[in-house]
A and B are shown apart, each in its own frame.
Chain A
Amino acid sequence: MISRSSSLFSRLVAVLALVLAVGAGLLLVAAWASARLAADEAYDRLLVGAALQIAETIASDGRTISVDPPFSAFETLALSPRDRIFYKVVDPADRLLTGDADLGIPVDRARLAAGPLLLDGEHRGQAVRAVVTGRYVPDATQAGFAAVVVAQTREARTQLTRALTVKASVMVLAMSALALGAVAVAVRAALRPLGAIEGVLAARGPNDLQPLGLAAPQEIHLLVASIDHFMGRLSGHVAVMKRFIADAAHQIRTPLTALVAQLDLLSNETDEGRRRDQLARIRARMAELGHLTNQLLNHAMVIHRARSAAFDPVDVAGLARRTLIDAVPQAGDRAIDIGYEGPDEALTIPGDAIALREALANLIHNALKHGARGRLTVRVGRERGRVVVAVEDDGPGIPASEWARVREPFQAATGGTVGSGLGLSIAAEVAAAHGGEMRFEVHSGKGFCVILSLPDGEGRP
């Protein structure tokens, strides 16, 4: 069963919503910062204007310095209607000419000549924006800069900042909402082909293994292609299985029919000598049928194991020796020189010992039955990073034109006796299941050789 994790749609939308939210948050901070800057700039002009208007009224008559803060300066400041106003004017000797004595904005006399200086400060527990500007008093006794300090609370600035920020925020949030909506729509549209695949698969009959044949966007083309490829393989396997079953049925039915016919003959036969002959034939037939059934089951088992069995370390050399020893009785009374060439120590690869033994047994059996006239040799060794198991006999071998065909089940090389067709196909199947291959070689003067070439597992992690 497929474990069901949260939907792609909600995951995509959640990630994009998070990105949008972070983006919106950053934008809001930026909007606030720039709004504050803009508000400060706007009201700073008023503040500087007022300070300059006051500074302009500073005058000296030679004895005293006077100042006459004009209405217009306060009217300028009153353009930020709710803000409190604090100010003071000091002469070059820092004596207070007018205003709030306790206004604690520092006056940097070195900077007075350079024009109005804006700074943030605090007065009576309130944050204020202040400007300090100087006016040169060309007086004989105390020439120097008189200083005007004007401070204003930040209410109007805060209000303007808030208003600008709110406007920007509304836009940012609207854009984010719009983007999120678009993302949702786009993600839904992007995921629609998956839904189409699901629909097509769900609507299929259980035996329909045709490719989907859907037009898919680039991103999920691979998925559709994989599904189609998988479908193709599956349908190929099913075809193989069907053919195998049909062939197997045929292979079993033929000897059964023959058996039935021979049993009929036997039941009608009265002659004792012929009865014995017929019984012997029936026994031989039965042995063949038994062998065929064994092979069919083995083949099915090998195919099954190839798909399901886990690999364990297998000592191929030991396995070959044991299998060879087990096969010796099959030679019967024929004089065959059976030999083993290979290392005495273990030669280990990852594999399925049962399947490998079956493959090897089949090859040896084939060789004994169809090939070897006087010699059978099993060789085990390493060859270019692979482990090679070769079964060589001095028989006639299989013609090269048949090599491809005989790997298929029931395609015995010589179309000869019943049941001869499965051994090579089992061996080929096992080799393939181990990631290796089966091949044939003809050694002039020596004979015919079937070789299983298997990876030794070191290429794999």
Chain B
Amino acid sequence: MIRRLARLLAYGLALGLAGPAAAEESTRFPASEHERTTLTIRSAADIDAMAPLIRDYQQLYPDVTVVYHEYITADLFGEVAASCAVGHADRDRPADVVISSSVDHLIKLANDGCARAHHSIETGRQPDWAAWRNEVFGFTTEPAVIAYRPDLVPREDLPRSRVELVDLLRRKPESYAGRIGSYDITLSGIGYLFAAYDGRAAATYGRLVEAFGRANLQVRCCTSDLIADLETGRIAIGYNLLGSYVYRAMRRGARLGLVVPRDYTLVLSRAVLVPVTARAVGDAFAFIDYLLSERGQRVSREEAFFFDRTGPLPPGIDGPPSLSAAGAFRPITVGPVLLAVQDRARRARFLAEWRQSIGAEAQKADVGAPKASRRAEEP
């Protein structure tokens, strides 16, 4: 606890300095054989999800030690952008691989010339929407889902699309007011990304936000908080949660249900890039090739992120037969379109509108949320 406080303090200072010394947790995966090199991964992804992939990678490259630093997306972006602007990474803060769920950050970095290009058989097999410039590669398939407590939501109430969700909130406000949870998009990068893409489907988005406002939407900084609140029963339905994390909780034994919306399914492809300041460039590209390879994708499907583009959904999920089926598949393309999401005027305006609709609850969360809670912001 003391260590955590100290770290948080350090983080607060770091914010003040706007420096690269951002808060992070690091895990070391030592090489099983004589260590040839050290691969430093700076990532905004749960270590629990990434560990199986890293270990399997080390099966192929047993002489590589992997050091995994976990970040929240905004800090990761700040640090990589800063070292890119300087032209080299801090001596004791190297970064060979950068992974983020805020794909828009990585796109912005690549657009600013901070990423290295990589061409290989694996990168050549990627669909167009899952890679940009051979610099940013989406390597996961994570749908935005509706998570719920089966004991709190009767089967007939279960919303299978956004329209049904709006309908449910209108029909039974007394049952669900204050029991719907979603991201605080002013804090959560992934929440903002999903909301921005919901916003592109203008017809339903307006009604959805309005319904959320009326139903006193509970906003949280991050997926883990939402899952925790679902588990304790403080909320009954969580909207737009990262399917991979919810499914992990289900496998862990949490009593949760998971609906992949049938009207359209937003799919995030968590992305990876190799910064220009990387040192172990070859190993970094080998790691990317591994992530994109069939072997890496199989490990990802079975142990890390549980979904893939074309295969059937994991068992026990209510949804279409596969993510890419029936035209409901809306990938968040890894490409320059995400620069629109990054636009600050657009973001300010979008957040202002969202705050206005969601109302006081969001305001309270915004003001009341102590800096400390940001640690867990990112999934």
Contacts and interface: CB of A to CB of B under 8 A. Distances in A.
B282 interface: no
Given A68-B349, A71-B337, A82-B133, A99 B111 contact: no
A98 B346 CA distance: 8
A99 B133 contact: no
Interface residues of B, number: 20
B193 to A, nearest CB: 12
A84 B113 contact: yes
Nearest to A85: B336
Contact of A74 (B128, B132, B336): B336
B263 interface: no
B344 interface: yes
A187 interface: no
Contacts of A77: 336
Given A81-B128, A126-B113, A98 B340 contact: no
Contacts of A126: 113
B200 interface: yes
Interface string A192-223: 00000000000000000000000000000000
Interface residues of A, number: 23
Contacts of A78: 333, 335-337
A371 B333 CA distance: 125
A69 B336 contact: no
B339 interface: yes
Contacts of A83: 336
Nearest to A100: B112
B345 interface: yes
A61 to B, nearest CB: 12
Nearest to B347: A98
Contact of A66 (B111, B112, B200, B345): B345
Nearest to B133: A82
How would you classify the secondary structure of chain B's contact residues: helix, strand, loop or mixed? Answer: helix
Nearest to A84: B111
B340 A74 contact: yes
A78 B128 CA distance: 11
A56 B335 CA distance: 23
A68 B112 CA distance: 21
A68 B111 contact: no
A124 B110 CA distance: 13
Contact of A98 (B111, B113, B128, B343): B343
A85 B345 contact: no
A450 interface: no
Given A82-B133, A85-B111, A124-B112, A99 B336 contact: no
A77 B336 CA distance: 8
Interface string B233-247: 000000000000000
A68 B113 contact: no
A104 interface: no
Contacts of A99: 343
Interface centre among B128, B337, B344 (most CB of A within 10 A): B337
A27 interface: no
Contact of B346 (A68, A84, A86, A124): A68
Nearest to B113: A124
B64 to A, nearest CB: 30
Nearest to B349: A68
A77 B340 CA distance: 11
A43 to B, nearest CB: 14
A74 B337 contact: yes
Contacts of A68: 345-346, 349
Nearest to A79: B336
A360 to B, nearest CB: 100
Contacts of B335: 78, 81
A71 B345 contact: no
A445 to B, nearest CB: 117
A461 B92 CA distance: 96
Given A78-B335, A82-B133, A98-B345, A69 B340 contact: yes
A248 interface: no
Contact of B345 (A67, A75, A81): A67
A70 B338 CA distance: 11
Nearest to B341: A71
B92 to A, nearest CB: 28
Contacts of B113: 84, 124, 126
Interface in B262-307: none
B349 A71 contact: no
B340 A70 contact: yes
Interface string B94-115: 0000000000000000111100
A97 interface: yes
B128 A85 contact: no
Interface in A81-136: 81-86, 89, 97-99, 124, 126
A413 interface: no
A27 B167 CA distance: 67
B346 A69 contact: yes
Contacts of B345: 66-69, 89, 97-98
Interface in A125-162: 126
A73 interface: yes
Contact of A85 (B200, B339, B349): B339
Contact of B343 (A69, A81, A86, A124): A69
A403 B22 CA distance: 129
Contacts of B346: 68-69, 98
Interface in B104-149: 110-113, 128, 132-133
B343 A84 contact: no
Contacts of B333: 78
A140 B340 CA distance: 30
Contacts of B340: 69-71, 73-74
Nearest to A75: B337
Contacts of B338: 74
Nearest to B344: A98
Nearest to B117: A82
Given A81-B128, A85-B111, A124-B112, 17 more contacts: A66-B345, A66-B349, A67-B345, A68-B346, A69-B343, A69-B346, A70-B340, A71-B200, A74-B336, A74-B337, A84-B336, A85-B339, A86-B111, A89-B345, A98-B343, A98-B345, A126-B113
Interface of A: 66-71, 73-75, 77-78, 81-86, 89, 97-99, 124, 126
Interface of B: 110-113, 128, 132-133, 200, 333, 335-340, 343-346, 349
Q: Which A-B residue pairs are the 8 nearest by beta carbons?
A: A98-B345, A74-B340, A74-B337, A78-B336, A71-B340, A69-B343, A84-B111, A67-B345
20 contacts: A66-B349, A69-B340, A69-B346, A71-B200, A74-B336, A75-B337, A78-B333, A78-B337, A82-B132, A82-B133, A84-B111, A84-B112, A84-B133, A85-B336, A85-B339, A86-B111, A97-B345, A98-B343, A99-B343, A126-B113
